[in-house]
């Protein structure tokens, strides 16, 4: 039974598709389910931080609706990447004025990639905003983030579903994966960009599929495949998909518990 158990929430990377995480969180709250600890990568780290901060689902959505993805003044100069990730610090300070993991209401684990050593790095204490930005700094679009003289980029490069940081701390793990791979037609792989995107998504999915299925409850909505990773027009649709899948998964779990 779920009652009385400590609950951990794991949120994957996946760009705008990560709005499905917010839908799942809304469904959890409607069923009286609250996670005590969160781990996330990339967009999952951002949503996880807002959740750990106590924000409502609508407030979380507004954060992503209002934050500019591609703003001309944010273009990188003398930095690798098209967009200067550190230009987002002031925007994030509105939501996280304390700029500290300790200022959140729940423990949070954020994964980023150390580009210099080639290892993953988990942040869970001290400064909050730079690790969040680093975790979501998808190359080559966003520039790496300098933390303590080390360049960090998107956590999904090394670990897109950081379940291992919660499994020994929590008794019941809820997972949400929005890095979806579905079968394609040959016509869907016409150019180098499509090929690179497909190969990357297959690599990420293969490395995290087993961990996802080890969760006590998880969602992985196939419909998210139709939403572009950086397509802000997909925000509402991804949120709705996550909410519907989350509600069904929770209701199915609760029904099986009462019948057993």
Element housing 239 (H / E): helix 235-259
What's the rounded Cα separation, in Å, for the pair 100 and 112? 16
pTM over 0.85: yes
Domains, the chain, in order of start with CATH, read 5-256 (3.40.1090.10)
Give pLDDT, residue 231. 80
- Provide the CB-side half-sphere exposure for 211 (13 A, CA): 21
Give pLDDT, residue 24. 98
- Point out the residues of the chain with pLDDT beneath 70: 1, 69-78, 81, 182, 193-194, 196-198, 200-201, 259-260
Element housing 19 (H / E): helix 19-30
Distance from the Cα of residue 48 to its chain's centroid: 7
Instruction: For residue 20, give the nearest of 167, 203, 220 by alpha carbon.
Output: 220
Secondary structure (DSSP) of 27-92: HHHHTT---SEEEEETHHHHHHHHHHTT--HHHHHHHHHHS-SS-GGGB-SSSSSSB-GGGGHHHH
Contact (CB, 8 A) for 136 and 43:
yes
The helix-helix angle for 19-30 and 57-66 (nearest 10°) equals 170
Give pLDDT, residue 6. 97
State phi, psi for 57 to the nearest 5 degrees: -60, -40
pLDDT in tens, 236-252: 999 999 999 999 999 99
State phi, psi for 75 to the nearest 5 degrees: -60, 140
Q: Mean pLDDT of all residues in the chain?
A: 89
Tokens of 250: 């929770």
79 CB-near residues (< 8 Å, 6+ apart): 143, 144
Which positions are annotated as active-site residues?
42, 154
Give pLDDT, residue 76. 61
Give pLDDT, residue 71. 53
Instruction: For residue 146, give the nearest of 232, 53, 227, 84 by alpha carbon.
Output: 84
């Amino acid at each position: 039974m779920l009652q009385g158990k400590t609950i951990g929430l794991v949120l994957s990377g996946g760009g705008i598709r990560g709005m499905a995480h917010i839908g799942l969180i809304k469904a959890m709250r409607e069923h009286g389910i609250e996670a005590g600890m969160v781990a996330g990568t990339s967009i999952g780290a951002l949503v996880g931080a807002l959740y750990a901060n106590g924000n409502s689902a609508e407030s979380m959505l507004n954060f992503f609706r209002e934050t500019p993805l591609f703003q001309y003044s944010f273009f990188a100069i003398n930095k690798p990447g098209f967009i200067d990730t550190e230009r987002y610090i002031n925007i994030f300070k509105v939501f996280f004025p304390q700029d500290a993991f300790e200022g959140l209401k729940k423990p949070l684990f954020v994964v980023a990639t150390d580009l210099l050593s080639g290892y993953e790095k988990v942040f869970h204490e001290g400064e909050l905003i730079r690790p969040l930005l680093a975790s979501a700094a998808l190359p080559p679009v966003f520039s790496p983030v300098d933390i303590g003289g080390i360049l960090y980029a998107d956590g999904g490069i090394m670990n897109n579903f950081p379940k291992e940081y919660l499994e020994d701390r929590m008794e019941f793990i809820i997972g949400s994966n929005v890095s979806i791979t579905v079968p394609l037609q040959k016509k869907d792989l016409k150019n180098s960009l499509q090929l690179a995107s497909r190969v990357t998504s297959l690599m990420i999915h293969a490395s995290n599929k087993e961990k996802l299925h080890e969760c006590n409850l998880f969602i992985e909505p196939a419909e998210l495949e139709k939403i572009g990773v950086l397509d802000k027009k997909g925000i509402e649709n991804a949120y709705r998909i996550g909410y519907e899948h989350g509600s069904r998964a929770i209701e199915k779990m609760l029904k099986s518990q009462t019948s057993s």
